[in-house]
Structures are given as structure tokens and as C-alpha cells.
Structure 1
């Protein structure tokens, strides 16, 4: 069994065939999906999706692109919403200096609020980091010094230093379809060095479809292709990598209910 640890089932790309998308994931051996929050004010939508489908969980948080829309979200609000039984994490939150759709100072402040909520709840923080390695490292080190929290660097596409520091601080690192792209040899080199006990896989669907589906709309079923490449990099079989990443997911997202067969995959 595989877990797609990060997708966006609420996006319009899936609206016309959401049941089929989830069914194809099941058929491909993807036993659990996490639909990720990008706006706290839309939490009811994510919760409803998680309630609608067995084997789907959600998170609560503000994407850095949307930090300017929700600059005043408090840690208390995040904590309260995270009590929903199907909410298993905080985020995604972080820094994105590639697009700079929200002011950087606002992104930083909102990110720290999410860290505070993750620390208080004990739920893992889903971190978005793009073109912001130096500031991300500085904030992670500073905040970890204030008190430990659990987290994953999602859709990792940063440099080796952020990967090294993330592992040093106890974070998990999740790889998406970018890992399969021909141009991503440097990323594959980084992925090969991440300890197996810190690896996760995801799609970030509907974006970043992996080879051989690159250029198409991504969907959770396609996570099998990323997991296959990750298995090759670590010299294990796809089944072994499924067991590794599912076991890691269980240890990080302890609130998730993975259902029948998950225990075998994590053994």
C-alpha cells in the first residue's frame, strides 16, 4: 500500500470526476490520501472531503501564496479546527519566494503561527518551501530552539543544505513527480542521500504529474511512478519502498487512520 501524503482534491480540476479519481487511486494501490489545506477559511471544504471518502484525511492551514489573504489567522484558531477527527496535520504553510504572491514578512509571520500550532497540537506541519532556502533554514532552526515540533518538507525541490538541515532537525522529506523529470538529476542525488526512515511520497495533484504522465493533469494514482523512482535510488523494490514510506507516514501522521492492510505495509 502507498500513501499520497499531499494532494488537493478540492481543486476544480477534479470536480467533474472526483469519485473516479479516488477509485483509480485505490485500484493503483494508494490506500490513503491527504487533501491539503491552502486557506484556513475554506476548512469546511477539506473536512467535508475527508468525511465523504474512506481513507481520506485533511489538514488545516494557509499556503504562503494566500498568506496575504489570511494574515490574522491565529494559532488558537488552527488548534481549534485541527480537533476535527479527520484533520491530521497543520499546513501547508511556509515560504515561496519564487512567485512572491504574498509579502515576505507576512509569509514569515504566518509560517511561525503555523509552527506554534503544530507545536501545541503535536500534529505535523506540512511545509511549503520554494526559492527560500536561507530564510527557511533560519526560521526552522530558530523555532526548533523554542520547542520541538514535527514536520515534513513537502514536494522537496530545494537544495542539499535544506535537506541536510531538515534531516538534522528531525523533519521528514517528501518527493513528488519532480523526482522523475529528466532535468531533476540533482534532486535525485539529494533523494538518494535522505535516510529511508525520513522519506515520504506525494503527488501535489493536480500539479506536477510524473513521467510517464508528465504534461497531463496529475492525480493520486500516479504516486506509484514517483515511488518507483525513489525505490530505484535506494536500491529497493517498489513494494519495499511502499512499506518504507507508508511506515514513515504512520509515524509522522499519527492521527491518520489508514485502514485495512496498512499495518502490513508498515511492518
Structure 2
């Protein structure tokens, strides 16, 4: 005779109530996020498909004859590929150099005890709050004395100095979540501090490193102020400066500007897909 199965325990009433209440709230929140972020993107794409005469026409807000002239002109621009490679080099170099500095610093602040982490975190917050415009002239003088003006290395160094405090503040919580027992076990097995850090700590905190690297890449990809001040030749400008060139004293080429914005966003979209 087979034993009867025990009846399934009912779910707690409070949990079911929270799930029912969170459903409409989550749906409304998603709709609000879509309106905040999706409508501007839709407007950019639609504007890039318009002719210059349809951009300012109230009758062609949604119903117009689409054209790819702006994309044809943008892709036919000989500076587009050069600017894209310049942006890619600057963003990749900034990401690598920022992680090389922020990862050890974040780990050190996560493991050191006493007042040192508090003081260091306070200084990092102050540096993070400093306006970028306040550093342009001093950095210009420094890079001029080093002979780095009109060189992408100057932009990489400046972007790294700008983003290191942000990256350290972002990495520290990930390292604090790594159990110290893992490091103690590795030390008992005879591993050195460096090997413990490389073989035990970094693999556990790899998601934090990937998140930080993605954000640093995105921020340095769209950086504009350092690029136009430290790169003296317009032919060496990155994509962010190429976008600004669509604005002139004679007006704004809205279809060309939006087409370049869409093209510039494609690498960011690819990066988002691979890091999702």
C-alpha cells in the first residue's frame, strides 16, 4: 500500500499579497522607464530618417517620407572611420589603465582596517565631485610640458585620472563581498598574497570588474571635453567631437547629427548585448 503524499503547504499570505501588489507597480514603473528612455531614442531615429525640410515641420512629426540621405552622407564621410578608431583606442586604453589602477586600490580599501579607508573614501568622493572643466587648463599645461598634446595618450591619461575615483568606489563593495575565509584557506595552502589575489579574489569579483569595465568604457567612449582640448588637429578628433561638428554658425544639421548619433551608438549597443 503506497503512502499518501503530504498535502502541499500553502504559500504565506503575506508573500502572495506582495506579489499581487508588485505586479501593477512593476508594470507602471516599466512604462515610465520606457517613456523616459525610449521616446528620446525613437525621436532620434525618426529625425535621422527625415529630410532637413521635414525636421521643423509640425505636419511631419510621425508621417513623412523616410530617406537614408543622412546615413549615406555620414557613412561617406572619410573622417568617420578615423574618428571611430580614435574613440575605440581611447576608450579601450582608458578602460585597461583605469582597471589596472582601480582594482588593486579597491581591494586594498576593502581589506585595510582603521581610519585609512574612511579618509581615502572621503578623498575619492571629493575628487569625484570636482568639475571636469576645472582640470582642463592644469592638464593642458602638464601635457604641453611633456610633449603629449595632439596625442591620444594625453586623452587616455586625462580620462583615466577622471574615472579612477569612480572605478575605485565601484570596485570596493565587490571586494568586500569576497569572503576572507577563501584567502585564509589559500594562505594555509601556501599561496602567496599575489597568487591569492590573482587566483582566488579576482575570479570571485569578476562580475564587478566586468561591470566597472563596461561603465568606464561607455563614459570614455562619449567623452568630449578632453578630446577637443588635447587633440589639436581636427582630423584626429573622436566620434564625440565629430558629432559636435554638425552644429555650426549657420545652423544645425539635425538629420546628419541624429544619423551620426545612431551610428555612434551601435558599438555601445553591441557591448551591452555581450555584457548583458
- TM-score tier by shorter-chain length is under 0.3
Question: Is the strand fraction higher in 1 or 2?
Answer: 1
Question: Is the helix fraction higher in 1 or 2?
Answer: 2
Highest RCO, 1 vs 2 (Cα 8 Å, sep ≥ 6): 2
TM-score, length basis structure 1: 0.23
